[in-house]
Each structure stands twice: as structure tokens, then as C-alpha cells.
């Protein structure tokens, strides 16, 4: 019996050690890059502490009991079977803990839903299996392109070594300026998709025939990667989302280049007619 | 399992049932039917488990090795459907069939012939489901939640799945009506509602949930069927419908369904813990009220599966608060079990080990459940491996571990033979180890951003996926040990003593011989 207990404790502590290793590594939420993502990150850590405290409390009592109150030690069973006071206490305490958890979450929900007065608006359309982007309003208005997985087939079929951004790279990135409130409008062309960029703290389903919206403001320039998060058929795993956040000046240059390229395309199109 | 009853025969004067296969086809005996339910669900568990092995084999390394993406989606879809509808639910109905009449002092189920029919529908449904792999276009590949419009795109496999769900639903409704009627009308004199064993209580409440929500599921799959073939547009925006409406209706069924799979586990654990603690269950009436509140709350939280589908802030907040509230009655249950163990005189045979393992891991699943209830965090973890980890903690180490606890606990009563205790403990410890190896790491995969239902992933997820796959293979193999233990017990187990567990207090232990005779309680016992 003793040896089993030691084995259990060893198991539990290995588990704990192994989880603590993951904290702060790439196996936690990615480093937050927006206000909302930061809120989510902090609340998650905070909840983990609360859960840990409850865990230690409940299982401390239970494992003490398992250790001490066993027949093999000659422990005689008591015969109590209820206590109204205790039962009220352990109903009320969880309620209080839940309220403590709900308050910051409520604030974040309200902030997440506030898509008003954006600096720019981008429409993302889910297709089987790629994303289409249209810059609807703000600097860059009129830009429109598709964004497809750019990982070569050979890597997927294990015929070539896989790169660092395997399955998280696209031909055309969504480019946005840093520090600007970007409203993203979502819809889909065929089936459900979901537009998800973990570092920016947003995920929203794209629903065919309907419009949904969400928003983000990126804190720092960089490249942030995500994936479609709603099963959309065969190539669901192959429609990543890559957002590139640029400094305002560079963004302006990017917009100019895009607009002139599309102007050339349009004029060629007209000449060909 | 014919051997089970070999020595139980000759008891009843009206015991003229046919022999061989016809015994099982025509039986109206609750014990026979219970046995068939249990074997059926174990067979389905192996089928669903094989699919899981396929999924984990593909995910063992990045890149596509074994399953092409389309087939991978068929595997994940059928794994979910088979495990939920084929393995877990029928297993609990099997326990209800065996145990409810014996625990309330009734001779059989109220509707004995309907009982036979509700079982024999299952193999038909299972054939449609498993057979759909072999039709043109293969099985359904839209996930076990079969959201349209994706599920409108599939081929014949989707139609087979829809019919299969219809049949399974009919079977469940009949089964639950039978259980409700039995419990309400056939209790032994003196057994008032508040004296019923907790397993009976949890099943009564579960059965009401089933009657409430299975018709909703039947309705939604029918709407999907008419959308697919008869030109309706319930879920098609181009025709004035709404794909999100499907999700609302589906989850109105789907969330209570989660509790349908866990409430009877609470019941089993509430029988096992007091027995092996040699102490009455702490807070019996609060257990009953907690079960009822969980059932009621489970009907008003469905949209927490849809936080990313887009709904008003007020909607998100309502469903968040309601979901968080479920933690209260669930917490009460965990505290009650702990208080039952407190100052008991515990022994740790296999059923007790599985029951403690259940509490330990179910609480972890409960914590991740609260975290998923918080809308902002859920926005990040929804449809990722975090959610996969969460619901396997409540369904595998929750429902399945409780089923194991129940099987080891009652097998002496059912067969008159003891299982091999050493092997039983091996089964527990190996399951415990491999289960955590498989699913604990998936929390991190989800947090780091690995979506669910993908056949291939970025290299940053490679190490934990490999660990998870190794754990899954180990877990799968361990369950073959369970099969061996059970067959070994039935065929050549040691003879069980009249009362193998000295702390048991329910009627089947105190008022019936071991093994239980083929017909029990022809005259009802008097409960004081």
C-alpha cells in the first residue's frame, strides 16, 4: 500500500514538474500583442493560480484521508453523513470565487465586442481553402487579394525537409499598420471557417451568407501567424492566416505598391479587351 | 457471456427461454439485455478506439503519412460519434438494465419487450455507421457535430450517419422511458424516492434529460436531411436559412448530452466510494439536489459551445455566467465524496481505485471546464487541442473510468466470480499513466495554438504530439487487458463470496444471492 502511495505522489509531482516546464515556454499562450490578448493571457494565469489553490485544498484533504483513514492501519470508520453548516459553506465559497473570476472576464467581453470607430476595416472571406481580403475603409482602401498556403506540397508529403513556418506561411500576408484599430469583417463563401490569430487575441467564425465582425490593435510590428479554426473540409489544416504588422511609414509604402500593382493589372485587363 | 448464467438457471419456475442465439434475440430479461448492452458498447469502444489509434498514428509526426486529410476527417468524425453514441451511452444503459431493477427491488424493467427492441436497434445503427466507411465518398467527414454547410456537402456517408442517429435516438428514448417508468412505479414497498440508491437517482434524472433532448437531435438531423435532399433551406443562407441555427439546435441537445454521459458516472462513483470507505455517503440529499440542478442548468448553457460563432455581448455574458454556475453543484459533489472518504475505513480494490482516479481527473477536467467557460479565454482555446484535452478528461477519465469502477464493482454480483485483483490494479495504473500521457500534453498544444481536427501541424507542436500518440497507443493496448480480465473472470474466476465488499448496503448485495439469480425479486423485499 505504502509503495503505491509513493508511486502516486511521484506521479503527481512529475506531472506538476512537467506542467511547470511548459509555463513560459512556447507551450503557453503566445506572447500577447494586443490589449485583448494581454487581458486573456493575464486572466488565464490568474485562473490557473485559483485552480491550483483549490486543487491543493481539495486533494490535500482527500490524500490525507487516503493516507490515514485506511482499514490496513486499523482505522475505524466514523458514521457521520451530513452537516448542513458545512454544506452551506462549501456552496457559498465557490459562488464567491466564481464572482471574482467573472468580473474581469465581463470587462474583457465588453471590450472585445466594441468594434466602433475603427481606423481601418478589412473584410476577410473564407474559401475552401484560402482566405480572401478586401481593404474596405481607411488607408489602403481598395486593396484586394487572396492568401493561400505557400508551403510546398513536397514538404507535406515528406519529400523535402520542413521549414520553420511549415503550414503557417502564405503567399500574400494581411498587412496592417501598428497601433491602429483594425476592424475585421468576416464572411465565408462556402462553409464555416474561423479567422484566428492567437497573438492578437481574436477568433471569429466566418459564416456563409452572414457578416460577423471583430477587432484588434497590434502593439508592435511583427509577423503573427494563425490558422483556420473551424473544420471546413479536406484542407482545413492548410489555410493559415498571416498578419504582418508594419510601422506607419512602411505601411504607407506597402499600400502605394499594392495600389499601383493593381492599377497596372486593371489597365492591362482593359487593354486586353 | 452465456457462462455467466450457467449456474443461475433452474431457479425460476417459468425459466423456459430458448437456448443458443435465440435466447439473446428473443430475451426480455433485464440481465440478458444488460449484458448485451455492455458487450455491444465494449465492441463499439474497440472500434472507436481503433479509429483513435489511426488518428494518433497520423499525428505521431508532422507531414501526411498514413491517412489522407479526407480520410483523417472521417476518422475523427466517426471516432466521436461511435464513442458517444455507441460506447459510452449504451454502456450506461447496460448498467441501468442490470442494476436499476435489483437496486429498487423490482423483478424486471417495466416494459420488458420494448427493452429488447431498444437494444436490438443498436446493432442496426452501428452497422449503418461503420458501414458508411465503405460507401462511395466514404463516411461523414464533417466532425461529430456535423455542422452545415459542410455536412450538406458530404455524400451517402452523411445520410447513413443521419439514419443511424435517428435509430440511436429512438433506442435511447425507449430506453429512458423504460427506466423512468421502472423507477417511478416498481420500487419495493418502503423504498421512498429519497431512499433510492444514488445510482438510481442519477439515472432517473439522466433519463428525463434524454427524453427532453433526443427528439431535438432527431429534429435537427431531419432538417439536415431535408436540406440535403428535399430542397429546404433551414441552414442555407441563400434560401433564407441560417447555418448558426443548426448550432443552436444541435447544442441544445449536445450540452445536456454531456451530462447524460456524466450523471450516471456520478451515480456509480457515489455507490463505490461509500462501500470502500465503509461509511454512509455524505450529504445524500444534497447529492440528489446537486444532480437535479446540474441537469436543469445543463439545458440553459448550450451556446457556450458557440462563443466564436458571434452573438451579442449580453448573450455571451449570460451563457458564461450560467456555465460557471454549474461548477457549484459539481463542486458540492466532489466535496461530498471527499467528506465520505474522510474518517472512513478505506480499502483500495480496483473499483475504489477507478473511483478515486475518476474524482482526481474529473476535477482537472472541471477546472479546464471553468476556464473554457470564461468567454475571452474560450475565444482563444475554442476548437483547439485544449478543448480536446478538456472533454477527454471528463469523458474518458470521467465517464469511462466510472464505467470501469462499476464493472469491477458489480461483476461478482453478475457472474458469481471474482476478477483478478492484481490484474485489475495493473489495468487501473496503466490506464491512469497512459491517459495522462495522452491528454495532459494536449492542454499545452491547445494553448500554443494547435487547432483540432487537423491531420498535420507545424513543427513546434511535434514533440508533444509524439508523446500524446505514444500515450494513446499505450492506453489502447491497456484496454485489451480489461477485456482479458473480464473474460478470465467470467470463465474461470474464483468463486465470489456472498458479500465480496463488506461496506455494500444496497439491495442487490443485501437481499440477493451472489450471483444474482436469473429472475430476482419476484416477491419484492420490504425496505425499512
Nearest to A47 by CA among A12, A97, A116, A81: A97
ipTM confidence: 0.90
Written as nine digits, the cell of A53 is: 489553490
Of residues B5, B30, B98, B108, which has the active-site annotation? B108
Alpha-carbon distance of B458 to B63, in angstroms, equals 9
Per-residue pLDDT reduced to its tens digit, A179-219? 999 999 999 999 999 999 999 999 999 999 999 999 999 99
Alpha-carbon distance of A102 to B373, in angstroms, equals 10
Alpha-carbon distance of B81 to B75, in angstroms, equals 10
Is B458 near chain A, with CB under 8 Å? Answer: yes
Written as nine digits, the cell of B379 is: 475565444
Quick check: A58 and B363 CB within 8 A? yes
Alpha-carbon distance of B14 to A234, in angstroms, equals 58
| Residues in A touching B328 (Cβ below 8 Å) | 91, 94-95, 98
pTM summary value:
0.93
Question: Is A230 strand, coil or helix?
Answer: coil
* A117 backbone dihedrals φ, ψ, rounded to 5°: 35, 65
Residues near B287 by Cβ (< 8 Å), separated by ≥ 6? B198, B201, B266, B270, B281, B332, B333, B336
CA A169 to chain centre: 17
Quick check: B447 and A168 CB within 8 A? no
Quick check: B363 and A59 CB within 8 A? yes
What pLDDT is recorded for position B154?
87
What residues of chain B score a pLDDT lower than 70? 1-16
What pLDDT is recorded for position A264?
77
Nearest to B22 by CA among B32, B31, B30: B32
* Cis geometry, peptide bond prior to residue B513 (ω within 30 degrees of 0): no
Per-residue pLDDT reduced to its tens digit, B54-107? 999 999 999 999 999 999 999 999 999 999 999 999 999 999 999 999 999 999
Checking if the pLDDT of A270 tops 90, the result is no
Quick check: A65 and B321 CB within 8 A? no
Per-residue pLDDT reduced to its tens digit, A20-77? 554 455 678 999 999 999 999 999 999 999 999 999 999 999 999 999 999 999 999 9
| Residues in B touching A90 (Cβ below 8 Å) | 331-332, 335
In chain B, residues 171-230 whose CB comes closer than 8 Å to chain A: none
Quick check: A167 and B456 CB within 8 A? yes
Is B395 near chain A, with CB under 8 Å? Answer: no
Written as nine digits, the cell of B396 is: 474518458
Quick check: A66 and B321 CB within 8 A? no
Quick check: B343 and A75 CB within 8 A? yes
Residues near A10 by Cβ (< 8 Å), separated by ≥ 6? none
Q: Specify whether the CB–CB gap between B271 and B501 falls below 8 A.
A: no
| Residues in A touching B367 (Cβ below 8 Å) | 51, 54-55
DSSP 8-state code for residue B451? B
Of residues B17, B425, B452, B453, which has the active-site annotation? B452
Alpha-carbon distance of A60 to A138, in angstroms, equals 57
**Chain A: closest CA distance from residue B506 (Å):** 16
Task: Using the Cα atoms of residue A32, residue B392, residue B132 and residue B466 in order, give the sign of their dihedral.
Answer: positive
- Among B286, B345, B440, the residue with its CB nearest the CB of A87 is B286
Of residues B333, B390, B392, B427, which has the active-site annotation? B333
How far apart, in Å, are the Cα atoms of B16 and each of A262, B307, B356, B516, B517?
Answer: 86, 57, 43, 18, 14
In chain B, residues 75-94 whose CB comes closer than 8 Å to chain A: none
DSSP 8-state code for residue B142? S
The DSSP string of A69-131 is: SBGGGTPPP------HHHHHHHHHHHHHHHHHHHHHHHHHHHHHH---S-SEEEEEEEETTEE
* Cis geometry, peptide bond prior to residue B149 (ω within 30 degrees of 0): yes
How far apart, in Å, are the Cα atoms of B272 and each of A45, A192, B34, B503?
Answer: 36, 45, 20, 9
Per-residue pLDDT reduced to its tens digit, A146-181? 999 999 999 999 999 999 999 999 999 999 999 999
Written as nine digits, the cell of B158 is: 452523411
| Residues in B touching A191 (Cβ below 8 Å) | 148-150, 153
What pLDDT is recorded for position B4?
44
Amino acid at each position: 500500500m505504502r509503495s503505491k502511495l509513493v508511486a502516486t505522489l511521484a506521479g503527481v509531482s512529475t506531472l506538476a514538474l512537467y506542467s511547470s516546464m511548459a509555463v513560459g515556454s512556447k507551450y503557453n499562450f503566445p506572447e500577447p500583442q494586443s490589449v485583448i490578448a494581454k487581458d486573456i493571457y493575464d486572466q488565464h494565469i490568474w485562473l490557473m493560480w485559483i485552480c491550483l489553490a483549490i486543487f491543493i485544498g481539495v486533494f490535500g484533504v482527500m490524500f490525507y484521508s487516503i493516507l490515514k483513514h485506511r482499514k490496513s492501519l486499523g482505522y475505524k470508520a466514523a458514521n457521520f453523513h451530513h452537516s448542513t453548516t458545512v454544506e452551506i459553506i462549501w456552496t457559498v465559497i465557490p459562488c464567491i470565487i466564481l464572482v471574482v473570476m467573472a468580473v474581469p472576464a465581463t470587462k474583457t467581453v465588453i471590450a472585445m465586442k466594441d468594434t466602433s470607430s475603427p481606423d481601418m476595416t478589412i473584410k476577410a472571406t473564407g474559401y475552401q481553402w484560402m482566405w480572401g481580403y478586401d481593404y474596405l475603409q481607411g488607408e489602403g482602401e481598395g486593396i484586394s487579394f487572396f492568401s493561400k498556403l505557400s508551403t510546398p506540397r513536397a514538404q507535406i508529403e515528406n519529400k523535402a525537409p520542413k521549414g520553420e513556418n511549415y503550414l503557417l506561411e502564405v503567399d500574400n500576408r494581411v498587412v496592417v499598420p501598428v497601433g491602429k484599430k483594425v476592424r475585421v469583417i468576416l464572411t465565408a463563401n462556402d462553409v464555416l471557417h474561423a479567422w484566428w490569430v492567437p497573438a492578437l487575441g481574436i477568433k471569429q467564425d466566418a459564416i456563409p451568407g452572414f457578416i460577423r465582425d471583430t477587432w484588434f490593435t497590434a502593439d508592435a510590428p511583427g509577423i503573427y501567424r494563425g490558422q483556420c479554426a473551424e473544420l471546413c473540409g479536406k484542407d482545413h489544416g492548410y489555410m493559415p492566416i498571416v498578419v504582418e504588422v508594419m510601422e506607419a511609414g512602411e505601411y504607407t509604402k506597402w499600400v502605394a505598391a499594392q495600389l499601383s500593382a493593381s492599377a497596372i493589372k486593371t489597365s492591362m485587363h482593359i487593354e486586353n479587351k | 457471456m452465456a457462462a455467466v448464467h450457467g449456474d443461475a438457471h433452474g431457479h425460476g419456475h417459468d425459466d423456459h427461454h430458448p437456448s443458443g442465439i435465440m435466447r439473446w434475440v428473443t430475451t426480455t430479461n433485464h440481465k440478458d439485455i444488460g449484458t448485451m448492452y455492455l458487450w455491444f458498447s465494449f465492441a463499439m469502444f474497440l472500434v472507436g478506439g481503433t479509429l483513435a489509434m489511426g488518428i494518433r498514428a497520423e499525428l505521431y509526426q508532422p507531414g501526411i503519412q498514413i491517412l489522407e486529410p479526407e480520410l483523417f476527417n472521417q476518422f475523427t468524425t466517426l471516432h466521436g460519434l461511435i464513442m458517444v453514441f455507441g460506447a459510452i451511452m449504451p454502456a450506461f444503459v447496460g448498467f441501468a438494465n442490470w442494476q436499476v431493477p435489483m437496486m429498487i427491488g423490482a423483478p424486471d424493467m417495466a416494459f420488458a419487450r420494448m427493452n429488447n427492441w431498444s437494444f436490438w436497434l443498436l446493432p442496426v445503427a452501428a452497422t449503418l455507421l461503420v458501414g458508411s466507411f465503405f460507401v462511395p465518398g466514404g463516411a461523414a467527414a464533417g466532425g461529430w457535430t456535423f455542422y452545415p454547410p459542410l455536412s450538406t456537402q458530404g455524400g451517402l456517408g452523411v445520410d447513413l450517419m443521419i439514419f443511424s442517429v435517428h435509430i440511436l435516438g429512438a433506442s435511447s428514448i425507449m430506453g429512458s422511458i423504460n427506466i423512468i417508468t421502472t423507477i417511478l412505479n416498481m420500487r419495493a414497498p418502503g423504498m421512498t424516492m429519497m431512499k433510492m440508491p444514488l445510482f438510481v437517482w442519477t439515472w432517473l434524472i439522466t433519463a428525463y434529460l434524454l427524453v427532453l433532448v433526443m427528439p431535438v437531435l432527431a429534429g435537427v438531423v431531419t432538417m439536415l436531411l431535408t436540406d440535403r435532399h428535399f430542397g429546404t433551406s433551414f441552414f442555407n443562407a441563400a434560401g433564407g436559412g441560417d447555418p448558426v441555427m443548426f448550432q443552436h439546435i444541435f447544442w441544445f441537445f449536445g450540452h445536456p448530452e454531456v451530462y447524460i454521459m456524466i450523471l450516471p458516472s456520478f451515480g456509480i462513483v457515489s455507490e463505490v466510494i461509500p462501500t470502500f470507505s465503509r461509511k454512509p455517503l455524505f450529504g445524500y440529499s444534497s447529492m440528489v439536489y446537486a444532480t437535479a440542478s446540474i441537469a436543469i442548468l445543463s439545458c440553459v448553457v448550450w451556446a457556450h459551445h458557440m462563443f466564436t460563432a458571434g452573438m451579442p455581448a449580453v448573450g455571451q455574458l449570460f451563457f458564461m455566467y450560467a456555465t460557471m454556475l454549474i461548477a457549484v453543484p459539481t463542486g458540492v459533489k466532489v466535496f461530498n465524496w471527499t467528506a465520505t472518504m474522510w474518517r472512513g475505513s478505506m480499502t483500495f480494490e480496483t473499483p475504489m481505485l477507478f473511483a478515486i482516479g475518476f474524482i482526481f481527473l474529473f476535477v482537472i477536467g472541471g477546472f479546464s471546464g471553468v476556464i473554457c467557460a470564461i468567454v475571452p479565454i474560450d475565444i482563444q482555446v475554442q476548437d483547439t487541442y485544449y478543448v480536446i484535452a478538456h472533454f477527454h478528461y471528463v469523458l474518458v477519465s470521467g465517464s469511462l473510468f466510472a464505467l470501469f469502477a462499476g464493472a469491477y464493482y458489480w461483476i461478482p454480483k453478475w457472474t458469481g466470480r471474482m476478477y483478478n485483483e492484481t490484474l485489475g490494479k495493473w489495468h487501473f495504473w496503466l490506464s491512469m499513466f497512459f491517459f495522462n500521457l495522452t491528454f495532459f500534453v494536449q492542454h499545452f498544444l491547445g494553448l500554443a495554438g494547435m487547432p483540432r481536427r487537423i491531420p498535420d501541424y507545424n513543427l513546434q507542436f511535434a514533440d508533444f504530439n509524439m508523446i500524446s500518440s505514444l500515450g494513446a497507443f499505450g492506453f489502447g493496448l491497456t484496454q485489451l487487458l480489461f477485456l482479458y480480465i473480464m473474460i478470465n473472470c467470467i470463465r474461470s474466476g474464483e468463486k465470489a463470496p456472498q458479500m465480496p465488499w463488506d461496506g455494500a448496503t444496497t439491495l442487490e448485495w443485501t437481499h440477493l444471492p451472489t450471483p444474482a439469480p436469473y429472475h430476482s425479486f419476484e416477491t419484492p423485499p420490504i425496505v425499512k
